[in-house]
């Protein structure tokens, strides 16, 4: 009977078109809790379920002048409660974000090790394999040779060593071109530090997304923020050719999470269900992700 049941399951799987089987293994779609106005709020999981997302990228909380992130999930009981609700709704947490570094300088922050450690420990609570580190608050001087770049590279090496020990990868957002991102990754030299690619960075700087994806290659991209700046939703965005991007990622053999960060309709910027629901639905439509 067991052999018959297993054979039935195998036949069902084999009955699916090969492309459909591969898509389900390769692509998943999530959304950012802080951009959905649900930063570390329990209701983010029900909202993610409602809009059809497979997961949610949780943020570590504000930083500002605080010593550590305002992270309620540092509390084991709270983290357990959040994890239980996520699991009960079938919502995954593919990544933890340190959005505080959009405004804070990673290069000059004295306790950066404590902040990285806090994020890695929280990520482990949810089984997240990626943490997001934007370098937006670190200025521009580090993009050229000099002391600030040397410091950044040194700190990323330390952070990479910390992450690798936990089986986690740090995805950095730099706003650099693909060529410059490759140079930075080579200088850091850590297998646990990769690029968290963002469509918006290419669009803002009039760079070709498809060309950049090909230049970076599948092994340098750990995750993708599949959205543009706030203006219109993805379906109406002339700067984001999602079918062409999907074709490119297929050809590259890349697999991972596509995470919606922005692409909100500016006439309805606070209408979360409208904006994120439409963006998630369009990504799933183009990438063939079901359910």
pLDDT number for residue 291: 83
Phi and psi based region of residue 37 (left: phi greater than 0; alpha: psi -120 to 50; beta: remaining): left
Query: Residues of 91-123 as b/e, b for ≥16 C-beta within 10 angstroms?
Result: bbbbbbbbbbbeebbbbebeebeebbbbbbebb
Q: Is 68 exposed, middle or buried (0-12, 13-18, 19+ CB in 10 A)?
A: middle
- pLDDT tens digit string along 91-106? 999 999 999 999 999 9
**187-205 mean pLDDT:** 98
Structure-token match 């986690």, residue found: 168
pLDDT digits (tens, 9 = 90+) for 232-278: 999 999 999 999 999 999 999 999 999 999 999 999 999 999 999 99
Considering the chain, what percentage of its residues have pLDDT values greater than 90? 90
Q: Which tokens in the block code for residue 125?
A: 């609570």
Asked whether the beta carbons of 175 and 142 are under 8 A apart, the reply is no
Mean pLDDT calculated for residue range 123-144 = 97
Quickly state the pLDDT bin for 25 (edges 50, 70, 90): low
**Structural contact between residues 72 and 41, judged by C-beta atoms closer than 8 angstroms:** no
């Amino acid at each position: 009977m067991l052999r018959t049941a297993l054979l039935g399951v195998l036949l069902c799987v084999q009955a699916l078109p090969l492309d459909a089987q591969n898509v389900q293994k390769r692509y998943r779609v999530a959304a950012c809790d802080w951009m959905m106005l649900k930063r570390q709020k329990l209701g983010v999981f029900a909202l993610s379920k409602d809009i059809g997302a497979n997961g949610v990228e949780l943020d570590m909380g504000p930083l500002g002048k605080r010593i550590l992130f305002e992270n309620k999930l540092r509390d084991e009981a709270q983290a357990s409660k959040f994890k239980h609700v996520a699991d009960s709704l079938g919502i995954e947490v593919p990544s933890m974000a340190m959005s505080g570094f959009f405004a804070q300088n990673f290069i000059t922050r004295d306790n950066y090790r404590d902040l990285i450690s806090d994020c890695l420990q929280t990520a482990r609570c949810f089984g997240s394999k990626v943490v997001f580190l934007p370098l937006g608050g670190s200025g521009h001087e580090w993009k050229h040779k000099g002391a600030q770049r040397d410091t950044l590279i040194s700190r990323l090496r330390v952070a990479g060593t910390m992450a690798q020990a936990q089986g986690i990868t740090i995805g950095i957002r730099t706003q650099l071109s693909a060529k410059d991102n490759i140079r930075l990754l080579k200088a850091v030299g850590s297998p646990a530090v990769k690029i968290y690619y963002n469509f918006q960075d290419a669009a803002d700087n009039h760079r070709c997304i498809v060309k950049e994806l090909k230049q970076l290659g599948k092994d340098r991209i750990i995750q993708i923020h599949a959205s543009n700046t706030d203006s219109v939703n993805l379906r109406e965005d002339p700067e984001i050719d999602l079918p062409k991007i999907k074709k490119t990622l297929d050809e590259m053999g890349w697999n991972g999470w596509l995470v919606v960060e922005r692409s909100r309709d500016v006439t309805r910027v606070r209408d979360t269900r409208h904006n994120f629901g439409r963006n998630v639905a369009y990504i799933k439509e183009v990438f063939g992700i079901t359910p």
